C-alpha cells in the first residue's frame, strides 16, 4: 500500500465520496458509522507507525451482503433478510480483521447472488460508475462498482458462474475467482454449494493477489476447503514465458473478440508467449450444465428461509429470478423425477472438468473475453436466455473448479471490456503473474 496517505485520511476521503455519489450509484446498502470507522482507522495508523501492523493494514473493504459480518446486515440484497443482523463473522472476515483490514460497509448485489447484471436487487439496481445508464454486471455488482467508483480500496464478492469476473469486466476493474475449495465458504450464504467461491476485486492485480493470499487457506469450518501454498507476490510484474491457449469459441460481439485477440497478440510479442488456439469440446454446454446444478442446490440452500428463525419466508418476499431458481430446483428434485437432471448435470460437470484438466497439460493459461457481449442498459428488456448467456465464458471455470481472473484491457463503445485469464487448479501464481503482465502492457500503452 503506497503510504502517501494515512488510513484515517483515506477513510475520510472514501466516506466523502460515498456521501457525494452513493445515492445516485446505489452501491452501498449499509455504511458503518463515521465515528467507529475513524476510531478503527486511527488504531490501524498507530499500528503502522509502530511497525506492528497486519498485511492488510491500510486497506478499506466493501463486502458483498451474502457474507456474514457481525453487526452488519447480511441482507443478500433481499427483502427476505433485510433485517437480518449477522450473528457471527465469516472466516474470510475474521482473517481480514486479524490482518488489520477495515470494513467500511455492505455493498449492493443481485438478490441472493441470483443474477448477472446487478438489476435484481430488492433495493434497486447498482449503476455502472463508468456509465450510470449501463448495468454494472453481477451478481457482485456493488463489489465491482465500489472499487471502480473509488468508494474503497478492495471488495469481496462471490463467484458461482462468473459473479465476480462479470461485473469486474463491465466496471473495468480486476476480479478473481479462486480455485474451488481454496477460500473458506464458512459464513457465505449459499447460492450453489458445489460452485461458490469468495474472491477479491481491486483496481490492480497486486492488491487482488494480496487479498486472496490473506483470505485463502484450509479452514476446519469449511469441510471442503483445502490447503494452499503462499503466493509469491514479488514475482508479479516479472516477465515469464507462458504457453497460452486462446479459447476457440465464437462470441456474439466480434469487437470484443478482436480487442482480446489484439491485446493477447501484443502480450505474446512483448513477453515471448507461445499462443495457440485451444478448443474445449463441451464448453458450449456450460450454461445448460450450470443452471440445473444451481437451481437444485439453491432450492436446497433456501429451505432454511422459512421465516421462523430469521427473516421472512423466501417464496413470499423474493423477486422473479430467485423464485425461478427455487421453483426450478423444486421441480428437478421432485421424487418422481428422482433428481435426474441434477445427476446428469453433475456428470457433465465432471466431463468439462476433465476436458480442462487435459487442456492444461498443453497450456499454462487459457484466455478468452470475460463476457461475450457489452453491458446493456439498466431495465432493458432482455430474455432469460440472453441474460444467462452473459456467463457462457465464465461458467466453465466454476464447473471445472479452476481459477480465473478478469483484467481490464480497454473499451468498446466506451464500455469497459475485460480479458479472462484462466489457469489450472491451484495455479493462481501463474494466473496472477500473467494478469500483472497484461496490466503492465495496458498501462504502458495508456501512457505511450
Partner 1 sequence: MAGFLYKKLTEKERGEIKKESEKIINSFGKKLSEIKKLPGESFIERKNLFREEGPGSLGNEELKKRILNNAPEKNKEFIIAEKKGWE
Partner 2 sequence: MVKIGLEIHGYLNTIEKLFCSCRVIHGKKFTKANVNICPICTGQPGSKPLLPNSNAVKKAILISLILGCRINGEVVWQRKHYSWPDLPKGFQSTISGPHATPNGVDGKFMGIGIRECHIEEDPAAWNPLTGEIDYNRSGSPLIEIVTDPDFSSAEEVVSWLGNLFSALSYVKAIDKNSGLKADVNISIPGGKRVEIKNINSLKKIKEAIEIEVLRQEKNLPRVEETRTYNEEKKVTTLMRTKDSAMDYRFISEPDLPFLKIPEEVIKKMKNSIPELPQEKIKILIKKYKIDKTYAEILTKKSSLVELFEETVKHVKPEILIPWITVELLGVSNYNKIDVDEMEINPEHFTKLLLAVQDGKINELKAKEILRKWIESSSDPSGEIDSGKTISGAEIEKISKEVLAENKKAVEDYKSGEKSSINFLIGQVMKKTNKRADFNKTREVLEKILGK
Site residues (CB under 8 A) for partner 1? Answer: 70, 83-85, 87-88, 111, 115, 117, 119-125, 194, 220, 223-224, 226, 282, 285, 287-289, 291-292, 295, 307-312, 319-321, 323-325, 327-328, 331-332, 340-341, 343-351, 353-354, 378-384, 387
Given 3-state DSSP classes, what are the helix, strand and coil percentages for the chain, each rounded to the nearest 5?
45, 15, 40
Query: What does R_g of the chain's alpha carbons equal in angstroms?
Result: 20
174-177 and 197-202 beta bridge pairing: antiparallel
Q: How far is the CB of 153 from partner 1 (least distance, A)?
A: 29
Q: Is 190 in the site for partner 2 (CB under 8 A)?
A: yes
Residue 259 engages partner 2 in binding (rule: CB under 8 A): no
Is residue 380 near partner 2 by the rule CB under 8 A?
no
Among 22, 143, 302, 397, binds partner 2 (CB under 8 A): 302
Q: CB of residue 335 vs partner 2: minimum separation in angstroms? A: 5
Q: In this complex, which beta carbon is closest to partner 2, that of residue 52 or of residue 334? A: 334
Instruction: Return the bridge partners of 278, or none.
Output: 247
Q: Report the site for partner 2 in 61-90 (rule: CB under 8 A).
A: 66-68, 74, 81, 84, 87-88, 90
**What are the cell numbers at 155?**
471488495
139 is catalytic: yes
Which one of the listed residues 109, 139, 158, 389 is annotated catalytic?
Answer: 139
The residues, ordered by sequence, that sit 6+ positions from 257 with a Cβ below 8 Å of its Cβ are 250, 251, 369
Q: Which of partner 2, partner 1, none is residue 304 near (CB under 5 to 8 Å by kind)? A: partner 2
DSSP states along 315-374? HHH--HHHHHHHHHHHHHH-GGGTTHHHHHHHHHHHHHHHHHHHHHHH-SEEEEESSSS-
Helices 340-362 and 286-301, axial angle in degrees (round to 10):
130
175 bridge partner residues: 201, 406
- Nearer Cβ to partner 1, position 10 or 79? 79
- What is the phi-psi region of residue 441: left when phi exceeds 0, alpha when psi lies from -120 to 50, beta otherwise? alpha
Please check whether residue 61 is in contact with residue 10, taking contact to mean a CB–CB distance below 8 angstroms: no
Q: How far is the CB of 300 from partner 2 (least distance, A)?
A: 6
Please check whether residue 155 is in contact with residue 200, taking contact to mean a CB–CB distance below 8 angstroms: yes
User: Among partner 2, partner 1, none, what binds residue 305 when CB lies within 5 to 8 Å by partner kind?
Assistant: partner 2
Q: Among the options 163, 184, 192, 406, which is catalytic?
A: 163
Q: How far is the CB of 68 from partner 1 (least distance, A)?
A: 11
Within 13 Å and on the Cβ side, how many CA atoms surround 169?
34
Closest CA to 271 of 435, 448, 447, 446: 435
CB closer to partner 2 out of 221 and 272: 221
Q: Which of 6, 194, 282, 427 binds partner 2 (CB under 8 A)?
A: 194
70 binds, among partner 2, partner 1, none (CB under 5 to 8 A by kind): partner 1
In whole angstroms, give the CA distance from residue 201 to residue 145: 10
Rounded to a whole number of angstroms, the minimum distance from the CB of residue 140 to partner 1 is 16
We find the least distance from the C-beta atom of residue 261 to partner 2, in angstroms, to be 37
Q: Which of 53, 435, 413 is nearest to 244 (CA)?
A: 435
Phi, psi of 104 (to 5 degrees): -85, -25
Dihedral sign for Cα 427, 192, 61, 47, please.
negative
C-beta of 320: minimal distance to partner 1 in Å?
6
377 binds partner 2 (CB under 8 A): no
Examine the residue annotation and report whether 64 is marked as an active-site residue of this protein. Answer: yes
Residue 316 in the binding site for partner 2 (CB under 8 A): no
The answer to whether residue 368 is catalytic is: no
> Is 304 one of the binding residues for partner 2 (CB under 8 A)?
yes
Nearest to 420 by CA among 182, 168, 216, 242: 168
Return d(Cα 378, Cα 133) in angstroms, integer.
6
Say whether residue 230 binds partner 2 (CB under 8 A): no
Catalytic residues: 64, 139, 163
Contact footprint for partner 2 (CB under 8 A): 66-68, 74, 81, 84, 87-88, 90, 185-190, 193-194, 220-224, 296-297, 299-300, 302-306, 308-310, 330, 333-335, 338-339, 342
Amino acid at each position: 500500500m503506497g503510504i502517501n496517505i494515512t488510513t484515517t485520511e483515506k477513510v475520510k476521503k472514501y466516506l466523502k465520496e460515498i456521501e457525494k455519489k452513493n445515492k445516485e450509484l446505489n452501491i452501498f446498502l449499509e455504511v458503518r458509522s463515521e465515528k467507529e470507522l475513524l476510531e478503527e482507522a486511527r488504531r490501524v495508523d498507530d499500528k503502522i507507525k509502530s511497525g506492528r501492523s497486519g498485511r492488510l493494514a491500510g486497506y478499506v473493504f466493501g463486502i458483498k451482503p451474502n457474507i456474514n459480518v457481525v453487526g452488519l446486515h447480511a441482507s443478500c440484497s433481499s427483502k427476505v433478510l433485510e433485517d437480518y443482523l449477522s450473528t457471527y463473522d465469516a472466516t474470510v472476515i475474521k482473517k481480514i480483521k486479524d490482518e488489520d483490514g477495515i470494513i467500511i460497509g455492505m455493498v449492493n448485489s443481485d438478490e441472493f447472488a441470483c443474477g448477472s447484471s446487478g438489476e435484481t436487487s430488492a433495493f434497486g439496481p447498482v449503476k455502472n460508475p463508468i456509465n450510470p445508464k449501463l448495468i454494472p454486471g453481477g451478481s457482485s455488482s456493488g463489489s465491482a462498482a465500489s472499487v471502480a467508483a473509488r468508494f474503497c480500496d478492495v471488495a469481496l464478492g462471490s463467484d458461482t458462474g462468473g459473479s465476480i469476473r462479470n461485473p469486474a469486466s463491465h466496471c473495468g476493474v480486476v476480479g478473481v475467482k479462486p480455485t474451488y475449495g481454496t477460500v473458506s465458504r464458512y459464513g457465505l450464504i449459499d447460492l450453489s454449494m458445489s460452485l461458490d467461491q469468495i474472491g477479491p476485486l481491486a483496481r490492480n492485480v497486486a492488491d487482488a493477489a494480496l487479498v486472496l493470499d490473506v483470505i485463502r487457506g484450509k479452514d476446519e469450518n469449511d469441510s471442503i476447503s483445502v490447503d494452499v501454498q503462499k503466493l509469491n507476490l514479488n514475482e508479479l510484474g516479472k516477465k515469464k514465458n507462458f504457453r497460452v491457449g486462446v479459447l476457440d469459441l465464437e462470441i456474439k460481439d466480434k469487437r470484443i473478440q478482436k480487442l482480446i485477440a489484439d491485446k493477447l497478440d501484443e502480450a505474446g510479442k512483448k513477453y515471448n508467449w507461445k499462443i495457440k488456439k485451444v478448443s474445449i469440446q463441451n464448453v458450449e454446454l456450460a450454461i445448460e450444465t450450470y443452471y440445473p446444478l444451481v437451481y437444485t442446490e439453491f432450492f436446497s440452500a433456501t429451505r432454511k428461509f422459512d421465516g421462523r428463525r430469521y427473516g421472512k419466508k423466501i417464496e413470499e418476499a423474493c423477486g422473479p429470478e430467485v423464485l425461478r431458481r427455487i421453483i426450478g430446483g423444486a421441480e428437478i428434485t421432485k421424487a418422481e423425477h428422482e433428481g435426474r437432471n441434477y445427476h446428469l448435470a453433475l456428470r457433465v460437470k465432471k466431463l468439462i472438468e476433465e476436458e480442462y484438466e487435459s487442456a492444461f497439460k498443453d497450456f499454462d493459461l487459457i484466455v478468452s473475453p470475460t463476457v461475450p457481449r457489452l453491458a446493456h442498459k439498466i431495465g432493458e428488456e432482455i430474455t432469460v436466455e440472453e441474460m444467462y448467456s452473459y456467463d457462457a465464458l465464465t461458467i466453465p471455470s466454476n464447473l471445472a473448479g479452476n481459477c480465473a481472473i478478469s483484467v481490464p484491457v480497454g473499451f468498446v463503445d466506451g464500455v469497459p471490456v475485460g480479458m479472462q485469464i484462466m489457469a489450472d487448479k491451484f495455479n493462481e501464481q501463474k494466473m496472477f503473474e500473467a494478469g500483472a503482465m497484461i496490466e503492465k502492457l495496458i498501462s504502458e500503452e495508456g501512457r505511450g
